[in-house]
Amino acid sequence: MSTAERRICVSICERDTCSLTSAIKLAAETGHFIEVRLDCINEHALTSALENLQQLLQEHAESTIITLRPQEQGGLRLLTLDERIQFWREHGFGLPAFLFDLEIDLAEEFLRTGEAVDWSRVICSSHDFGAGVADVKNLYERIARTPARFLKVAVNLDDAVDNLEIFKLIERVTSDDRKLVAIGMGAAGVPSRILGPSRGSFFTYASLDHHTSTAPGQLTATELRDIYRAEQITDATSVMGLIGQSIAHSLSPQIHNAAFASSGLDAVYLPFDVRDLASFMRRMVHPATREIEWRLRGLSVTAPHKKNVMDYLGWIDPAAREIGAVNTVVIEGKQLKGYNTDALGFISALQTERPRLNGARCAVIGGGGAARAAIWSLLQEGAKVSVFVRDTERAKPLAERFDITISNLQAAAFESFDVVVNTTVLGMSGHQEQQTPATAEQLRGAPLAYDLVYNPTETRFLREAEQVGCETLGGLSMFVAQAAEQFRLWTGREAPSKVMHAAAVEALGGR
């Protein structure tokens, strides 16, 4: 693989020589660039590590990048400027490598002292974990004043819309003489890591696994290559994605990208961590106002945007309007269209366990967009629905919309209901995983407990239900069913549902 074809740089961060050697050999098998983070090595072992690595680095001299990152620039060690100068003079520039990464303060010092540096082999880098995208232009202008051929800017992003500034910078700088790597760090910056190379960034960074990640929001090389097919993305690639907040644990990218690959479609599905919905829809989505050229075809919508996204759509499916929530956006020409596939997914999964719902007594826990879809679907089937929430005052509009009763969740007992449905995110993988909206005692006597949370497959809510003899139904079937309908709306093709389900099961660890 030539240098020009490499689009991923695997960053290696290990504490000892043995682990570092193994990691370099493993990363070399991927055929990508390899960043050797020497700041990760125990400081007392660094000198011996350099001696042992000489031959190994020589074998991969055309693909390795040497880095000694100080703590204030995201490194693992406290390193003074003098210590870093000494390292590069005595060791760094003598190592067999393709490129040497010098932080901006170090590069400026070498320029001031007239150090003999081969600037054609230098990446001049700047990392900002605080100021964010507002300072990206200033950071770039500072590193651009050095003669380094390769420039790197990494800034922390707070919102998916901030990726625009990363992409604009890449477009501004791309040339034959100088190469830029621009990265948005954090969950909001993930789109820049995936799309960056296709838009002109020299490469993107990845880790071998999540345990050895070297920056916030960094994906693994396997994720970039096998899930997002980042090396195959071009200007012609169709883009779909998920908009929401705290979406790191969503499996939507895994199942949709698997479906695209299985169907032979040149398409990619991305996570967009969106706080300012209005700005994102105006600046990145709507064809009439967006500030980016891309083939955006559709979006999945999750909490907390399912209701508010309706304000930015030109047409809404009647069922979605009745539900009062949209979880799917389709872009057709200059128009944004809204649908709700949660309803179809919810009811189709439930009817595998309860084919006849007419007259069934159903308790729905929660009052968000997923609850709206569940309530509407159950009412369409003739079920009798009651809703349970922690804040009954806030849920009054829901009661009025569907003409149903709202009760306080904390005082609820579900023994008189045929089905109890959890539509909240309590129990989802992450910081809420050990929580449940209802206890075993509350669920005692209910024949079926249905949890819309699909990650993990067995939530605490379901475990509480099993303790008191309830049948249980997890959210994975609903998740795949609603996603399959999204696939059909975006592509006009029937979805490979089995492929999508298998991708979800694999991502969940085969559970």
> What positions carry a catalytic annotation?
306
- Give Cα separations from 228 to 20, 270, 311 (angstroms): 27, 8, 30
Q: How far apart are CA 127 and CA 112, in angstroms?
A: 21
How many Cα atoms within 13 Å fall on the side-chain side of residue 259?
Answer: 27
Per DSSP, the residues of 460-472 read HHHHHHHHTT-EE
Phi, psi of 503 (to 5 degrees): -65, -40
Quick one: DSSP state of residue 217? T
Which residue spans within 307-427 are E strands per DSSP? 315-316, 328-332, 335-339, 361-365, 384-389, 405-408, 419-422
Q: How far apart are CA 208 and CA 14, in angstroms?
A: 11
**Are 256 and 239 in contact, with CB atoms under 8 Å apart?**
no
SS3 content of the chain, % helix, strand, coil (to 5): 40, 20, 35
Q: How far apart are CA 398 and CA 297, in angstroms?
A: 31
426 Cβ contact partners less than 8 Å away, ≥ 6 residues apart: 432, 435, 436, 437, 453, 461
Query: Which amino acid would we find at residue 320?
Result: A
21 sits in which H/E element: helix 17-28
Quick one: DSSP state of residue 186? S
328-360 burial by CB neighbour count: b if 16+ within 10 A, else e?
bbbbeeeebbbbbbbbbbbbbbbeeebeebeeb
Q: How far apart are CA 494 and CA 484, in angstroms?
A: 8
**Are 418 and 448 in contact, with CB atoms under 8 Å apart?**
yes
